[in-house]
Amino acid sequence: MNLVLFGPPGCGKGTQAKRLVEQRGWVQLSTGDMLRAARSAGTELGKRVAAVMDSGNLVSDAIVIELIEERLPEAEKAGGAIFDGFPRTVAQAEALDKALAARGAQVDKVIRLVVDKVELVRRMAKRAEEEGRADDTVEAFKVRLEAYETQTAPLIPYYTASGKVVDVDGMGSIEAVSAAIAAALDD
């Protein structure tokens, strides 16, 4: 099973992906985590990634796709991948489709977590306070939310055309959202 978790920043993609890893044993392919790891490594790539992330902008497709492709064999062995924060553009979705097709696989389902903007801002503020992430400033969050609305939201028609999108209300408790995702996956 290759699952894309989709939704705006702060909607709970990472939290729900971690739950799916625990429940189903799949591999979480979180581009955010991969990029933060590259940033922490302090390499030349990490420094470039840090500058882009701190401004709230999206890292180039080439870098993100390379990181994803490196992890696909691990996901195959685990029986599934949870794409968390990827793809973010139609070009990335097409690149993912191509990479999976080369391995005889495809995106099986897209779960879109639906959360209103007021709640997204509340969650971002809480996460910034609790985790102290450098990319969770109000300014960076606004840039990321706008990038989602202009660059990422157009992916919905891309995946809807193939009948793979399931909307899940992301406003409930972590447990309620997790149960709704499980029901959608088992349908």
> Residues 118-169: pLDDT tens digits?
898 888 888 777 877 666 677 788 888 888 888 888 888 999 998 999 999 9
Residue 18 Cα distances to 22, 82, 85, angstroms? 6, 9, 13
What per-residue confidence (pLDDT) applies to 186?
92
Options 71, 133, 142, 164, the catalytic residue: 133
In the residue annotation, 19 being an active-site residue is answered as: no
**DSSP codes joined into one string, 20-36:** HHHHH-PEEEEHHHHHH
133 in active site: yes
Q: What pTM was estimated for this model as a whole?
A: 0.81
| pLDDT tens profile 55-112 | 878 788 888 888 888 889 999 999 999 998 889 888 999 999 999 999 999 999 999 9
Task: Tell me which of 13, 39, 109, 123 is the catalytic residue.
Answer: 13
Q: Is 144 one of the annotated active-site residues of the chain?
A: yes
Rounded Cα distance, 45 and 55, in Å = 16
29 dihedral zone (left: phi>0; alpha: psi -120 to 50; beta): beta
Q: What is the pLDDT of residue 73?
A: 94
Dump pLDDT digits (tens) for 1-43.
999 999 998 899 989 999 999 999 999 998 878 888 888 888 8
pLDDT of residue 38: 82
Tell me which of 19, 36, 88, 112 is the catalytic residue.
88
**pLDDT reported for residue 134:** 61
Q: What pLDDT is stored for residue 141 in this prediction?
A: 81
Domain parsing of the chain, residue ranges = 2-182
- CATH architecture of the domain formed by 2-182: 3-Layer(aba) Sandwich (3.40)
More confident residue, 90 or 179: 179
pLDDT at 136: 63
**Can you give the pLDDT at residue 147?**
83
Residue type, 98: K
Known catalytic membership, residue 127: yes
Beta strands in 7-108 (DSSP E): 27-30, 81-84
